[in-house]
Structure 1
Amino acid sequence: MSPTPSPTLSLSDGSEIPQIGLGTWQMHGEEAYRTVREAIGMGYRHIDTAKLYDNEVEVGRAVTDAIRSGEVTRDELFITSKVWNDDQGREQAARAFQASLARLGLDYLDLYLVHWPCPRKGLYNETFEAVARIQGLGQVQSIGVANFYAGVLEDLVVTTGIVPAVNQVELHPGFSQAPLRALHDRLGVVTTAWAPLARGGVLSHPVIKGIAGRYGVPASAVVLRWLVQLGVVAIPKSSDPGRLRSNLDVHGFQLSVEEVERITALDEGPGMGRLFHDPEEFPA
């Protein structure tokens, strides 16, 4: 029996984004193809990839085969890709989008993101405007950014006059990005969490384990449930069928307000914080 399909959140442009998706970073070749096929069969409808991941061909082939087999229709899927740093700029971004679309073998994307702000390049506004023009042509439904911190996000909105539908950022227990989420709420931007399980690093934390024991669920389910209740989209990555299934099936229990607050308060604990690149500094 398949888990309950993921609930959706409404984006500012009226589109719906499934709140639990599949991240595909570091998935390559047949592993990427097999995982996406299995995930769709389990009920995943949100698949996240990027040019950088070097797996758009395999992701697209899995999507195409799932549609051809009758498991799902294209309209039921939400496919995201991203423009990489080397392709920032008006003309480069337009070419990069068409190249991603061709590798995926799709007629359109549901969401296309500027992958990093790269503030030293000073091209994020121009790049986002190029992506907005693609949206105007009807080849992408929704547009957004990833790894944008408050300063560049606010500059983007003021300069372009366009509010991104999504900002995809590192977010997990111990790094809940509360100030950035508050800014998103004010602007009408949906927050998506990459590395929502901190690459597994938070699953042994006593607070998470204690709550998981109380509900009789995996620690990962507690973390993903926390994100769902915060109103965040999460894209955990796994190629293990059991973990794929448990990551999607997080809707059979409800955390209390106190439990949500206890997990959020892990930000203040020792050894917590950002695990990966700081977008104010990356790339150097």
Structure 2
Amino acid sequence: MTRYARPKTLDEALALLDEGAWRVVAGATDFYPALGSKPLQEDILDINGLAELRGLRENPGHIVIGARTSWTDIHDTELPPAFAALQQAAREIGAIQIQNVATVAGNLCNASPAADGVPPLMTLDAEVELQSSSGSRALPLHAFILGNRRTARLPNELVTAVRIPKAATAGRSAFVKLGARRYLVISIAMAAARLALDGNGRIAQAAIAVGACSAVAQRLRKLEAALVDQPAGAVTEIAASISFDELAPIDDVRGSAGYRREAAREIVIRALLAATAETNRRAAA
């Protein structure tokens, strides 16, 4: 017989996780559709009673996003311009009804290669905070998502927050998603780019990530390195000349590997141009 628990405190939730295997749910926007008409066969730990896991806060080193924070919360909160890509992605994750209940941590724990929230968070050097009854730890996002539907979360751990180092909040970002339509669709490819310019219009920081073109979203480190110290107006030429060999796209019903690779380059350029244009506009204002 399956069990259902809705703890009211974090300590209670962690104690329950020590008892055995639970399926942790919050928005459950992926869990229940995947279940379909099949009966529940897992014990369900509903964390929607944990008020302390929702919302955004700030500490000396980080901007902290609670695990239960919804995509509507992300979109509607006033955040630095570096979060623009994350806020743009928040409005393209399902319909409004999904955005109202789906959570940031759920998007990460589901570990889909096409999770829209992952590339923008990667450009912010996001860290995943995990807690158990014996303590807490933080992992870089790229070390938390291990592959398709696989994460580094241990059975007795709960994702409690996503932390953004303040050092990664410089500049402006943009998000571009390619799909059969804009909403209610799984991405063929997606890209997020964050650029910070110096006083001379040269790129001081560059962070670029592509999703749905590998088992896990990937930072384009070669392109990032090539962009630093270059004039903002050179982003198209540089992005067109750099190999995107960090990506490993597959053929599926949404597109071939070759199409995805070429599409990734195009949407990366569009994201870079959008981030550059907005950064320049703000500097001139």
Please tell me whether Structure 1 or Structure 2 has the larger radius of gyration of its CA atoms: 2
Higher RCO by CA contacts (8 Å cutoff, separation 6 or greater): 1
With normalisation by structure 1, the TM-score equals 0.26
Structure whose residues are more often helix by fraction: 1
With normalisation by structure 2, the TM-score equals 0.26
Structure whose residues are more often strand by fraction: 2
